[in-house]
Amino acid sequence: MTTLPYETDTETTMDREPRGTTAPTRPTAEGTGADEAAKRRLLMLAVATVGFALNFWAWALLSPLGPRFQEILELSSFEQSLIVAVPVIVGSVGRIPVGALTDRFGGRVMFPLVSAATIVPVLYLGLSGHTSLAGLLIGGFFLGIGGTAFAIGVPFVNAWFPPARRGLAIGVFGAGMGGTAISALTTVQLVKDHGTATPFVITAVALALYAVLAYAVLRDAPGRTVPSQPLLRRLAATARLGITWQASALYAVAFGGYVAFSVYLPVYLRTAYGLEQTDAANRMAGFVVLAVLMRPIGGWLSDRFGPVRVLAASLAVVVVGAVMQSFTLDLAPQGTVAFLSMAVALGAGSGATFALVSLAAPADKVGSVTGVVGAAGGLGGFLPPLVMGAVYGATDSYAIGLALLALVAAAALVYTLTGVRRAVERHNA
């Protein structure tokens, strides 16, 4: 038999593939390494997202109990709003130094550290701090530490994923804000069934277990850019970046609107529609869950169509929804449609904002930029509950507060279509 050119004398019949078939692809060391890297990225994303959710769960513990504290401690509407707003502002401003520290020390150090530190105010509030207004304000101040976890996760996840997938990855991480939904769905019922301390103790245990898990499992991305400049100099450099303030303005509206509704919606629904506390908390949880689900979708859409388009569409929906609800529509169905539409838009817009950050921020300043932007988002959520409470106390109506939201969202929409769009076009040129 004549030997074909591609055959060798040592080849056996079993070595040959039947004619007309394709040889199966054999795994290579390179392919196996790529698969392992992908699995590792997903593991880091999953653990970071769980940590974000648990810290946000702790951060939001006071909101569902606001009406209860108002009744027991005989608080005014403003004092009740202040109780739920204090953790928000502390957690927001705290993101600035925490984001910069994450750039320096990495998520493996910062996630366990922040989670462990949050345990202290959680236990204090559950065991004794809830018995007075002063105790609630002091405990709420330190409870804000949990809200800083966001500024840890964004640079941590951003470093693990390639640019083309960062929008989706950061959006998935951002879905950890659903920790507020856990709080809304469980806190009131646990207090009713087992006493005020129960949800706080459960949350503290969960945070302790996570701190151990994070220290054991989390690893910072290989080749992560570690800044060498001192903290204050890095923050000053971050303040000079255009993307810092562009994203801050947009996030103050998108995430700020989400935070405002997630902490104030139970009060709004009880006051405007006379709902029971549990019913109001459950409806707030539905709002939160929908916004959470839309956050990774907003990131994914930004990867495909660009963050500017996603942000513009989201802000337009917020304008329409806020205008509709300023007339205090019937809750079923018009009011529900307005609120759920805004939940979709605010979730998608929050995801798109950090797709914009991952696109335009320098690699060694993602944490610092995230800290400032995250602070702006939290501050955007701090002011509306206070404004809504003050407006309702003065006018016995929420119409002016919702009209102000519509005006702010409309201004952000115009800015997105002009200044932000031009900045992105220059960056991509």
Whether the CB-CB separation of 387 and 266 falls below 8 Å is answered with no
| Amino acid of residue 411 | A
Q: Give the count of beta carbons closer than 10 Å to the beta carbon of residue 33.
A: 10
At 3 the pLDDT is: 43
Is the pLDDT at 15 greater than 60, yes or no?
A: no
428 against 221, higher pLDDT: 221
Q: Is residue 233 part of a domain?
A: no
Residues 251 and 378 in one domain: yes
Give the containing element (helix H, strand E) for 271: helix 242-273
The answer to whether position 293 is within a domain reads yes
Report the distance separating Cα 286 and Cα 299, nearest Å: 21
Domain boundary among 168, 192, 221: 221
Q: What is the mean pLDDT of the chain?
A: 83
Q: Would residue 382 count as lying in a domain?
A: yes
The residue from 194, 221, 248 where one domain ends is 221
- Domain assignment present for 72: yes
- pTM metric for this prediction: 0.74
- Based on the domain organization, do 208 and 301 belong to the same domain? no
Handedness of CA 390, 394, 396, 397 (dihedral sign): negative
The whole-number average pLDDT for the span 68-77 is 81
C-alpha span between 424 and 284 (Å, rounded): 35
| Residue with the larger pLDDT of the pair 142 and 6 | 142
27-68 confidence digits (pLDDT tens)? 555 567 677 888 888 999 999 999 999 998 998 888 788 878
Angle between helices 307-325 and 399-415 (to 10 degrees): 160
Burial class, 417, CB count within 10 angstroms (exposed 0-12 / middle 13-18 / buried 19+)? middle
Does the pLDDT of residue 371 top 80, yes or no? yes
pLDDT for the residue 429: 66
Residue 390 sits in which domain range? Answer: 238-428
End position of a domain, from candidates 161, 193, 221: 221
Same-domain status, 252 and 349: yes
- Output the domain CATH number for residue 87: 1.20.1250.20
Chain segment 290-301, per-residue pLDDT in tens = 888 898 899 889
212-227 per-position pLDDT tens digit? 999 999 998 887 777 7
Is residue 77 situated within a structural domain?
Answer: yes
Shared domain for 258 and 129, answered yes or no, is no
pLDDT for res 30:
56
Is 32 contained in some domain? no
Residues 290 and 385 in one domain: yes
Helix (H) or strand (E) holding 191: helix 179-194
Contact 275, 283 (CB under 8 A): yes
Total number of domains constituting the chain: 2
372 shares a domain with 293: yes
Do residues 183 and 247 both lie within one domain? no
Question: CA 362, 364, 366, 371 torsion: positive or negative?
Answer: negative
What pLDDT does residue 405 have? 87
pLDDT of residue 16: 42
Residues 198 and 132 in one domain: yes
Please name the residues in contact with 395: beta carbons below 8 A apart, sequence gap of 6 or more.
none
Give me the residue label for tokens 């809750």.
331
Domain for residue 117, yes or no?
Answer: yes
Quick one: 65 and 190 in the same domain? yes
Domain presence at residue 11 = no
On the 0-12 / 13-18 / 19+ scale of CB atoms within 10 A, 18 is exposed
191, 260: one domain: no
Residues 53 and 104 in one domain: yes
Q: Are residues 245 and 328 in the same domain?
A: yes
What CA–CA distance (Å, rounded) separates 6 from 350?
A: 59
Task: Kindly state the average pLDDT of the residues 354-372.
Answer: 80
Q: Is the pLDDT of residue 316 over 90?
A: yes
Cβ atoms of 423 and 246 closer than 8 Å? yes
